[in-house]
A = this chain, B = another copy of it.
């Protein structure tokens, strides 16, 4: 069954409310805090950065998710990452959760926290606390509330990122909705951004985590903007169970349907991050097919979307396909370069660049036209088997350098 996006975000599933505010953390006065609240206790699943340097909120959420006592709220700030902040960083998480717990009348250890922004600075707790109360008073399940929350978690993002689907499970309508942020410090190996996904599906905590881990592998772990795996990467999935479908407790057809819908929502969100990569002008989609194993295809595809030289060539609309083969070559995955058929494709057409690893004659003009579209796909066929994987990235531009030469000022 093909999933279709519906209008909506984190408040699309039953029981979820959102709020946001400008708490004075961002220097420009923009919205910088978001709150998510569930009318009932949720099961929670999470995946977190593999970076050895983990921000305090990552450690806080890992603990809460692993304890499985149920969560009911999430407080997120943008502007300051609360990373490399030591014991005071953990204190800031605890104080944030405590303040939200008091405002919402729920237990402190049912409050998840998340931060994104500059590393090494302390959170301004006065702003955070004031923001929490403002948000607690304005929680809403409206479309506008989820839109504003998605905007409030942005840093260098240029567009807010939301997605939602609805599916039928056991005769009941079930929703999955999500919002995420991420534009720089984006590189495979756990999510590389913040993503908060909600659902009203009734599903066991174990399968909720399993489905999320599988979905993350094929979505957030397959995007790269700049090769930098963040200290704060977090994906959280909360289920309220309010859809009242028969509880999913085994990997049956309902589980498959749920997993596919979850994959679809997360792929949509992950692609929106790659497409909004800092300074980028194009989404770069790389599919490696004909692989012997999926893992091999994934490593090769990720290596291509991560190559600075390939990304710069895409920015220049230059069909410098040698850089694609080169990036596959240093990926660490084995393959036979003399077997590779390489194609580029976009709304402007399709072109085969190599056959069995050798250049084919092609029109540079056609190639440039294909590479000038907003979404460009490269397909490498290894002709070894039936496994395939897709990774998403973006071009490397002057603006990326601008943004990151001067991020803090």
Q: Which residues of A contact B (CB under 8 A)?
A: 50-54, 81, 83-86, 118-121, 184-185, 187, 189, 226-231, 306-309, 312-313, 315-316, 318, 320-323, 325-331, 333-335, 337-338, 354, 356-359, 396-398, 400-409
Contacts and interface: CB of A to CB of B under 8 A. Distances in A.
Where chain A touches its partner, the secondary structure class is loop
Contacts of A407: 313, 316, 318, 320
Nearest to A189: B330
Given A312-B404, A320-B408, A327-B228, A84 B184 contact: no
11 contacts: A53-B328, A84-B325, A84-B337, A86-B357, A120-B321, A120-B358, A121-B359, A227-B306, A228-B323, A231-B329, A312-B400
A53 B86 CA distance: 44
A288 to B, nearest CB: 13
B396 A326 contact: no
A171 B189 CA distance: 56
8 shortest A-B CB distances, which residue pairs? A119-B322, A316-B405, A53-B329, A312-B404, A229-B330, A51-B329, A52-B329, A226-B308
Query: Copies per complex?
Result: 2
A307 B401 contact: no
Contact of A84 (B333, B354, B396, B403): B354
Contacts of A228: 307-309, 323, 326-327, 330
Contacts of A51: 326, 329-330
Contacts of A320: 118-119, 407-408
Nearest to A334: B52
**Which among A320, A321, A329 has the greatest number of chain B C-beta atoms within 10 A?**
A329
Contacts of A321: 119-120
A56 B354 CA distance: 17
A233 to B, nearest CB: 10
Given A119-B320, A308-B308, 9 more contacts: A51-B329, A51-B330, A52-B331, A53-B337, A184-B309, A187-B330, A312-B401, A315-B401, A316-B406
Contacts of A227: 227, 306-308
Contacts of A226: 308-309
A326 B119 contact: yes
Contact of A326 (B185, B333, B403): B185
Contacts of A315: 401, 405
A84 B324 CA distance: 11
A83 B330 contact: no
A403 to B, nearest CB: 8
**Which among A121, A404, A409 has the greatest number of chain B C-beta atoms within 10 A?**
A404
Contact of A313 (B306, B308, B326, B404): B404
A336 to B, nearest CB: 9
Contacts of A402: 398
A335 B54 CA distance: 12
Nearest to A322: B119
Contact of A309 (B318, B325, B359, B404): B404
Contacts of A327: 228
Contacts of A189: 330
Contact of A330 (B52, B329, B357, B404): B52
A397 B401 contact: yes
Nearest to A89: B358
A405 B396 CA distance: 9
A166 B227 CA distance: 42
Contacts of A308: 226-228, 308, 400, 404
Contact of A405 (B85, B307, B318): B318
Contacts of A85: 358
A318 B409 contact: yes
